[in-house]
Amino acid sequence: MAELEKTYTPAAVEAKWYAVWEKNRYFHADENRTGDEPFCIVIPPPNVTGMLTLGHVLNNTIQDILARKKRMEGRTVLWLPGTDHAGIATQNVVERALLAGEKKSRHDLGREEFLDRVWQWKDKYGSTILRQLRMLGCSCDWERTRFTMDEGLSRAVTEAFVRLYEKGVVYRGKYIINWCPRCRTALSDEENEHQEKNGHLWHIRYPRQDGNGYVVVATTRPETMLGDTAVAVNPADERYKGLVGNTVVLPLANRPIPVIADHYVDREFGTGCVKVTPAHDPNDFAMGERHNLEKLVVMNLDGTMNNAVPQKYRGMDRFTCRKAVVEDLNSLGLLEKIQDHSHAVGHCQRCHTVTEPFLSMQWFVKYDQWIQPALAAVEKRELRFYPERWEKTFAHWLENIRDWCIARQLWWGHRIPAWYCVCGHIVVARQVPTECPACKSTDLKQDEDVLDTWFSSWLWPFSTMGWPDETATLSKFYPTNALVTAADIIFFWVARMVFAGMEFMGKLPFSEVFFNSIVRDMQGRKMSKSLGNSPDPIEVINTYGADALRYTIISLAPSGQDVHFATEKCELGRNFANKLWNSARFAMMNFKDQTITAPQKSQLRTEDQWMISRFNQAVKVISRAIDGYDFNAALAAAYHFTWNELCDWYLEFIKPRMAEGADLASRNAALHTLREVLVGTVKLLHPFMPFITEEIYAALREYGVEGAEHLIVARYPVCDDNLIVPNIEARMQFVQDLVVVIRNLRAENNIPPGKKGDVLISAAEEAKQQWIMDLETQIKFLSKTGTLTVTHAAAKPAQSVSAVIAGAEVFLNLEGLVDKAAERAKIMKDLERNDSFLKSVEAKLANEKFMQHASPEVVEKERVKLSTTREKLEKLRANLALFS
């Protein structure tokens, strides 16, 4: 017979079971299985550079809970894993390594060799995070692991690009984009993070060409003035009525520029007169289009000033140039004033460099055609968000987006499938074209740029299943069922997947999206490497076990709120695992050498029926909570049922029935109930704590438990409403209350644990008397009671203490239970202490000065003290009488 080890050691158990699950291919989803209901989740692909963080732990534990539960419900579950090539992030990592190791830049190596290095790096480190997910217990279908740059997914990217280009949804154009001078690439609006910064507003005088004084413009970026091609005022602004149509001379550059009128200009901003820099500001760009202004680019791609500016500033870094421009303006007497000014400044999401709005030729995706359908899907509840508040955020974003800039000036990524001919023709094709269809020239050059990483991840729910081919996997598992992700990529990823699903598959990629919480430290700070407050989950697993970590992180995250995590909190999970382990061990010690058979219904005692009733209730609550994405509530219910009801009450209740000489039928009924409920409990807990439950299940199978060989594929419990019996639950609640008050009375009166007390219960109702008699043995056992007497009505016996519960009064006879003299001395001391305290409060309240100065709240507090102390004294005196 299997026996559980005395203490639970996670490491060995976890490695053993993960290997068994993989060997049996339990994670594998068979696309050819028929007559079942599929369930599919695609993993938010972690960056291939990634290491497991607590954010991943939370996100993937939730996905695993769903996958394991649905699998146990008999559905064919596909949890599809993989990694993202993470363009900028990965290129940055390899570039840094190259610089540190060989003092070389990617340009020193050249494109081809550099890409070779990135692939080498990917082969070496790229699967670290997937290995770590295995340690966490994730039941992904590893046979289907995908990478956004593998062959199939790359083909999907090209296909999507070409199709959208042919429809005119993908286009090339010269617009203002966000440029990172450090990464030297364009960024999408989402990758351009705005931070509020304290800066300045410089007021600069632009002299009028006619010599009639000057106009004053205000700017937060003085260096860009070198690219000004106009000054603008609002046409309704009376102050500048006569100015429109005139010319001013741009200081430092000494270029004449016109004064124009445009409704965009805010009369309240600065002087109401603004500089117009069409090549370095999106709003100025639009103004430039309206007024046909020259768009003068004044910077190089690395953020230094270019040759379009006066000699002196050429080659200067933009911020050095800012200082120089301000100084020069000042010495020319053209600086009117400088104001402090706080404003939002764009930063590169990857390297945190201040981005530059930059006029540049790029590839874009038009969003217009998808916005209304996406909004309608949310409206019609075809797409649901949990927590629901994200629906508003989503809608707001949709209503305010600009087209998506998808070109990146990087090497690592999907190269844009566009070729340029010397004749000016552009060929966008699925295969490398051999000649230009316009002029037949073979001199074609492919676009140097790659696509935004998200241009491959937005296809993830179907590209991973073989699209554009019509595969069996796609037809079985698309659309997927649920997406579990972090809210910070709602626009980067979730929204774009919705677009791509509608566009390429004609169906939304998923119907439900759950946004998991953010993991923070105990002080509420975000976990970050630089703060050093981010524990390594693998170390946590090594210390506490994966189950304990999973349990803890879920138990710390009420739906929709942040998780406040500290490694020590994993004690919670470890304690729970130990409690479960010890209880299972105790149960199995009792199963040993017993033949357990299904009892007659009449052989089930009240506590057995109660346990079965409570179990079914737990099944109902837990299952519903998981299906409703309330994992925290599901786990809380599982905890309460396991720890309090099964371990603390039921196991104790049945102990007398295990004793030597107990009735055999009754023992069998108890053992059978215990075994079945224990199996049901490990099933309920399996999605949360897969390893320890599998281990206990394996041991239980040796005591006659039937069903699947392994818990991971055993049937999830189904609630039987007929077995939920409110009358039995009320009865047991009454008995539990009774035991609790007797225990409390013993504790309050310091009765040594070895001494049994005599208890008299006065219960008016016949039924309640019956309930007590029915469980007399158990009550006596649990409350250390000697004789238990139940009557209709009883007066308080001498030398007894009492307590009241709903429907009964309980008297505990202290006679002979306590050392009278010692007890009396203790009470006397207590009396004295309380008496002098009472006197001090009374004195305070009689003190006129105090009463005059104290606030009504303080006086009220003193009055409360007075009455509670008086009550206490009364009680103590009554007690003293008992021991005299």
Residue stretches of the annotated binding site for ATP: 529
State in angstroms the smallest separation of the CB of 387 from Zn ion: 32
Question: Segment near Zn ion (CB under 5 A), from 256-264, 291-299, 430-438, 499-507?
Answer: 430-438
Shorter beta-carbon distance to Zn ion: residue 61 or 92: 92
Shorter beta-carbon distance to Zn ion: residue 303 or 680: 303
State in angstroms the smallest separation of the CB of 425 from Zn ion: 4
Q: Is 86 in the site for Zn ion (CB under 5 A)?
A: no
Q: Are 375 and 163 a contacting pair, CB within 8 Å?
A: no
Please, which of residues 167-206 interact with Zn ion by CB under 5 A? 180, 182-183
Please, which of residues 201-260 interact with Zn ion by CB under 5 A? none
Beta bridge partners of 427: 419
* Share in percent of the chain as helix, strand, coil (round to 5): 50, 20, 35
Residues contributing to the annotated binding site: 529
Q: Is 665 in the site for Zn ion (CB under 5 A)?
A: no
Q: Are 745 and 801 a contacting pair, CB within 8 Å?
A: yes
Helices (H), 402-510: 454-457, 460-463, 472-477, 496-500
* E strands present in 744-846: 757-762, 785-791, 800-805, 808-813
286, burial (CB in 10 Å: exposed 0-12, middle 13-18, buried 19+): middle
Question: Segment near Zn ion (CB under 5 A), from 155-163, 210-218, 350-358, 649-657?
Answer: 350-358
Question: Segment near Zn ion (CB under 5 A), from 202-210, 288-296, 439-447, 490-498?
Answer: 439-447
Q: Which of 705, 703, 680 is nearest to 693 (CA)?
A: 680
Place of tokens 């003035």: 225
HSE-up of 175 (CA within 13 Å, CB side)? 22
Shorter beta-carbon distance to Zn ion: residue 183 or 742: 183
- Cα–Cα distance, 83 to 49 (Å, whole number): 9
The first and second tokens of residue 686, run together, are 């399996």
Q: Are 696 and 584 a contacting pair, CB within 8 Å?
A: yes
Three-state DSSP state, 425: coil
State in angstroms the smallest separation of the CB of 421 from Zn ion: 3
Q: How many residues bind Zn ion (CB under 5 A)?
A: 14
Q: Is 864 in the site for Zn ion (CB under 5 A)?
A: no
Shorter beta-carbon distance to Zn ion: residue 440 or 526: 440
Among 226, 257, 436, 818, binds Zn ion (CB under 5 A): 436
Among 338, 344, 376, 438, binds Zn ion (CB under 5 A): 438
State in angstroms the smallest separation of the CB of 43 from Zn ion: 27
- Buried (b) or exposed (e) across 158-189, using 16+ Cβ within 10 A? bbbbbebbeeebbeeeebbbbbbbebebbbbb
State in angstroms the smallest separation of the CB of 182 from Zn ion: 4
State in angstroms the smallest separation of the CB of 353 from Zn ion: 5
DSSP line for 272-311: SEEEE-TTS-HHHHHHHHHHT------B-TTSBB-TTS-G
Shorter beta-carbon distance to Zn ion: residue 42 or 436: 436
State in angstroms the smallest separation of the CB of 455 from Zn ion: 18
Q: Is 439 in the site for Zn ion (CB under 5 A)?
A: yes
Residue 556 phi, psi (nearest 5) = -95, 0
Among 184, 208, 343, 425, binds Zn ion (CB under 5 A): 425
Q: Which of 674, 691, 682 is nearest to 717 (CA)?
A: 682
State in angstroms the smallest separation of the CB of 352 from Zn ion: 7
State in angstroms the smallest separation of the CB of 432 from Zn ion: 15
Q: Are 57 and 553 a contacting pair, CB within 8 Å?
A: yes
State in angstroms the smallest separation of the CB of 524 from Zn ion: 28
Shorter beta-carbon distance to Zn ion: residue 302 or 327: 302
- Cα–Cα distance, 77 to 432 (Å, whole number): 39
Shorter beta-carbon distance to Zn ion: residue 85 or 350: 350
Q: Is 348 in the site for Zn ion (CB under 5 A)?
A: yes
Beta-strand relationship, 384-386 and 512-516: parallel
Shorter beta-carbon distance to Zn ion: residue 69 or 350: 350
Among 351, 354, 633, 725, binds Zn ion (CB under 5 A): 351
Shorter beta-carbon distance to Zn ion: residue 356 or 630: 356
- Cα–Cα distance, 59 to 44 (Å, whole number): 9
Shorter beta-carbon distance to Zn ion: residue 81 or 346: 346
State in angstroms the smallest separation of the CB of 685 from Zn ion: 45
Q: Which of 400, 369, 579, 459 is nearest to 146 (CA)?
A: 459
Among 99, 332, 376, 423, binds Zn ion (CB under 5 A): 423
Place of tokens 């190089």: 300
Q: Are 152 and 75 a contacting pair, CB within 8 Å?
A: no
State in angstroms the smallest separation of the CB of 302 from Zn ion: 11
Beta-strand relationship, 450-451 and 407-408: antiparallel
Shorter beta-carbon distance to Zn ion: residue 41 or 177: 177
Shorter beta-carbon distance to Zn ion: residue 379 or 443: 443
Please, which of residues 591-620 interact with Zn ion by CB under 5 A? none
Question: Segment near Zn ion (CB under 5 A), from 119-127, 423-431, 651-659, 869-877?
Answer: 423-431
The first and second tokens of residue 205, run together, are 């005088």
Q: Is 441 in the site for Zn ion (CB under 5 A)?
A: yes
The first and second tokens of residue 321, run together, are 């140039």
Q: What residues make contact with Zn ion under the rule CB under 5 A?
A: 180, 182-183, 348, 350-351, 353, 421, 423, 425, 436, 438-439, 441
